[in-house]
Homo-oligomer: A and B are copies of this chain.
Amino acid sequence: MNYLIIDKIIKDALVEDGVFDDITTNSILNGNEKATCDIIFKEDGVLCGKDVFNRVFDIMEDVEVTFNFEEGQFIEKNTVVGTLKGLCCKILSGERVALNLLQRMSGIATITYKLNKILEGTNIKIADTRKTTPNLRYLEKYAVTIGGGINHRYNLSDMAMIKDNHIQAAGSIKAAVDLVRKKHPFAKKIEVECESIDEVKKAIEAKADIIMLDNMNYEAMKVATGLIGDKAIVEVSGNIDEEKVDKFRDLKINYLSSGSLTHSVKAIDISMKNLKRFD
């Protein structure tokens, strides 16, 4: 885990939530009381974000967290996944920031896991996109891998993706690919987004590393994948959900990418309960 990124996220979030100035807790507790508290999954889901959760309380200081499951395990409803032990005031004040992160990451891992599950027995993997929450991309792309998914490019600088507007600007797919390859011949892969069989043919000719079939119907995708063969990696994109994903099973494609994994997260319901004081 990249703690230079994570710590910044957590510290900013702790400031945002006024965690060190919790007027309720600080009025009622004297600061020395100790307690334990359980972390409970209130619904089924994949556990994701243990290190981040721990780091929240490392930064808060004086609370130890123990998890009973591995990162990425599927957890059933009402399971106690872990326990906090330490200063009661820190547990109460840090609860919301820690859970906000864990719930979101577990939500992303869970939907990725479910979609991948449906594709079991095929060579197709679920991939993410750049439709992530601003400034949480690092955590969200990580959560996708924990759910068994694959990371598409991180941002605009680490891979080239040629879309319709780029093709239009360059004059042709060939021209666009050549322009990018001329400037970045070495370290970067080039993907071309295609909306028709004709475009797929041109992308193959241009030696694109990856070809994306964008919103094509089943028949078109069948033809396209036949043409591509091993000449490029194949990505299919579109509005993918648990129902639709099944129909891709017998296509020779490599990746199904979906923005909703990260732009429309459904947080897993996780809470901290059973706070018990001790000396």
Q: Mark A133-170, 1 if CB is under 8 A from B, else 0.
A: 11111000000000000111111111111110110111
A228 at the interface (CB under 8 A from B): no
Residue with the highest number of chain B CB atoms closer than 10 Å, among A1, A28, A155: A28
The answer to whether A96 touches B267, judged by C-beta atoms less than 8 angstroms apart, is no
Q: Which residues of B contact A130 (CB under 8 A)?
A: 17, 96, 100
The answer to whether A136 touches B133, judged by C-beta atoms less than 8 angstroms apart, is yes
| A35 CB to nearest chain B CB (Å) | 8
| A54 CB to nearest chain B CB (Å) | 14
A101 at the interface (CB under 8 A from B): yes
Near B by CB (< 8 A), chain A positions 1-53 give 1-5, 9-29, 33
Near B by CB (< 8 A), chain A positions 175-218 give 176, 179-180, 182-189, 210
Contact of A150 among B23, B125, B133, B185 (CB under 8 A): B185
The answer to whether A264 touches B267, judged by C-beta atoms less than 8 angstroms apart, is yes
Q: Which residues of B contact A222 (CB under 8 A)?
A: none
A85 at the interface (CB under 8 A from B): no
How far apart sit A161 and B176, CA to CA, in the bound complex (Å)? 27
Contact of A101 among B134, B156, B179 (CB under 8 A): B134
The answer to whether A179 touches B127, judged by C-beta atoms less than 8 angstroms apart, is no
Q: Which residues of B contact A136 (CB under 8 A)?
A: 133-135
Identical chains bound together, number? 6
Q: Which residues of B contact A97 (CB under 8 A)?
A: 134
The answer to whether A107 touches B264, judged by C-beta atoms less than 8 angstroms apart, is yes
Q: A22-B156, A158-B158, A166-B25 are in contact. Are A100 and B131 (CB under 8 A)?
A: yes
Residue of B nearest to A134 (CB): B13
A221 at the interface (CB under 8 A from B): no
The answer to whether B134 touches A27, judged by C-beta atoms less than 8 angstroms apart, is no
A88 at the interface (CB under 8 A from B): yes
Residue of B nearest to A171 (CB): B28
| A88 CB to nearest chain B CB (Å) | 7
Near B by CB (< 8 A), chain A positions 242-269 give 254-255, 260, 263-267
Q: Which residues of B contact A166 (CB under 8 A)?
A: 24-25, 28, 92
A-B contact pairs, 11 of them (CB 8 A): A5-B20, A18-B154, A23-B156, A23-B157, A24-B160, A27-B179, A92-B166, A100-B131, A103-B263, A151-B184, A265-B265
Instruction: Report the 5 A-B pairs with minimum CB-CB distance, sorted nearest first.
Output: A18-B157, A2-B20, A18-B155, A21-B157, A13-B134
Additional pairs, 16, CB under 8 Å, beyond known A16-B135, A17-B155, A25-B156? A4-B11, A9-B135, A12-B134, A13-B134, A16-B137, A16-B155, A18-B157, A23-B157, A27-B179, A28-B170, A107-B264, A135-B135, A154-B157, A168-B277, A169-B277, A265-B265
